[in-house]
Amino acid sequence: MQSKGKQILAVWGSPNSGKTVTAVKLAMALADRKKNVMLVLCDDICPVLPTIYKSKAPIEVSLGEVLSAPNITQEVILRNSLAFEKNSYLSVMGYKAGENPFSYAEYKKERAIDLLVLLRHIVDYVVIDCSSILTENIISTAALEVADTVIRMGSCDLKSISYFMSILPLISDSKFDADKHIKVLSHVRQFQSGDEYKNAFSGVSYTMPYVQSLEEQSETLTLFEELTNKTAKGYGLIIKAITKEAFGDE
Ligand SMILES: Nc1ncnc2c1ncn2[C@@H]1O[C@H](COP(=O)(O)OP(=O)(O)OP(=O)(O)O)[C@@H](O)[C@H]1O
Ligand SMILES: [Mg+2]
């Protein structure tokens, strides 16, 4: 198997900061390059799949099956991932409705790393929607360690600041390369200048605007559809700029 360049992008940050929405849109932008993309949804406390993936039949596959399999193989991964009818370059894996952290046997960090390493060989790009609760979600912590690029999402609220004050010391070890994270301030509304928050986060590289149609998409299970209106254009340009910073033009 050939060794490839940068491939793994982890989206991490404070609760409710737009990690899932951003991970979906980044994965879609990468699939637009006609490259195979796997979106990994790590949250096992509030499974994300049933909140973003429209399925005619009940979903019977799970990321939990992969992480608890005796051997993580390409076959196990493909069997537990879902493809999109409308976009053959995009696949997704995550926990299914009703699952919780006790649904599967415990797994160690090495397992999560095995999965991420194998994904590098199976697809061109891996986008990981991490859980904010790093202390409870091993695959998210592993993702922060092995990702080529980490997007750190924060929002304009005191809870977001409080979250980073508590959690950043937990990833201060050099293996996390936390100072290389790409910092993003998310869903900034027009009345918010965002400057105070940019300072509180010691500067950010990108500021994403609040886009009403995006919120509507995430409330109506249509996040995988294109955003068409004018206000979403600026948002789309930022998504493109982040993919370019993470992976170059192609
Ligand atoms: N740019 C945006 N414009 C408008 N609304 C947004 C934007 N980004 C995210 N949102 C909204 O903010 C809320 C939180 O987004 P999302 O679920 O992606 O956050 P999260 O960080 O994944 O949350 P959690 O910590 O629960 O996993 C959702 O209602 C979503 O629609
Ligand atoms: Mg989320």
8-13 and 149-155: which strand pairing? Answer: parallel
Q: pLDDT digits over 26-74, tens only?
A: 999 999 999 999 999 999 999 999 999 998 899 999 999 999 999 999 9
Domains for the chain: give ranges and CATH numbers.
8-243 (3.40.50.300)
The alpha carbon of 110 and the centre of ligand 1 are apart by a number of angstroms equal to 30
- Tens place of pLDDT for every residue, the chain, 250 residues? 344 688 999 999 999 999 999 999 999 999 999 999 999 999 999 999 999 999 889 999 999 999 999 999 999 999 999 999 889 999 999 999 999 999 999 999 999 999 999 999 999 999 999 999 999 999 999 999 999 999 999 999 999 999 999 999 999 999 999 999 999 999 998 888 778 888 889 999 999 999 999 999 999 999 999 998 877 899 999 999 999 999 998 6
- Residue 165 dihedral angles phi and psi, to the nearest 5°: -60, -35
Atom 26 of ligand 1, nearest CA residue:
16
Q: Are 140 and 134 in contact (CB under 8 A)?
A: yes
What is the H or E stretch that residue 189 is in? Answer: none
The alpha carbon of 20 and the centre of ligand 2 are apart by a number of angstroms equal to 4
Q: What is residue 1's predicted lDDT score, i.e. its pLDDT?
A: 39
Tell me which of 130, 184, 212, 218 to substitute to probe ligand 1's pocket, judged by most ligand atoms within 8 Å of the beta carbon: 218
d(Cα 161, Cα 238) in Å, to the nearest integer?
Answer: 23
125-129 and 149-155: which strand pairing? Answer: unpaired
Q: What is residue 4's predicted lDDT score, i.e. its pLDDT?
A: 64
d(Cα 158, Cα 9) in Å, to the nearest integer?
Answer: 26
All residues at 6 or more sequence positions from 180 whose CB lies less than 8 Å from its CB, including other chains? 150
The CB density around residue 147, as the number of other CB atoms within 10 Å, is 25
Nearest ligand 1 atom to the CA of 129 is 22
Q: Are 235 and 215 in contact (CB under 8 A)?
A: no
Q: What is residue 183's predicted lDDT score, i.e. its pLDDT?
A: 97
Q: What is residue 195's predicted lDDT score, i.e. its pLDDT?
A: 85
Tell me which of 127, 187, 213 to substitute to probe ligand 1's pocket, judged by most ligand atoms within 8 Å of the beta carbon: 187
206-209 and 90-94: which strand pairing? Answer: unpaired
d(Cα 133, Cα 149) in Å, to the nearest integer?
Answer: 19
- Using alpha carbons, list the distances in angstroms from residue 184 to 3, 74, 100, 190: 30, 33, 29, 16
The alpha carbon of 21 and the centre of ligand 1 are apart by a number of angstroms equal to 6
90-94 and 82-83: which strand pairing? Answer: antiparallel
| C-alpha of 158 from chain center | 23
- Residue 27 dihedral angles phi and psi, to the nearest 5°: -65, -40
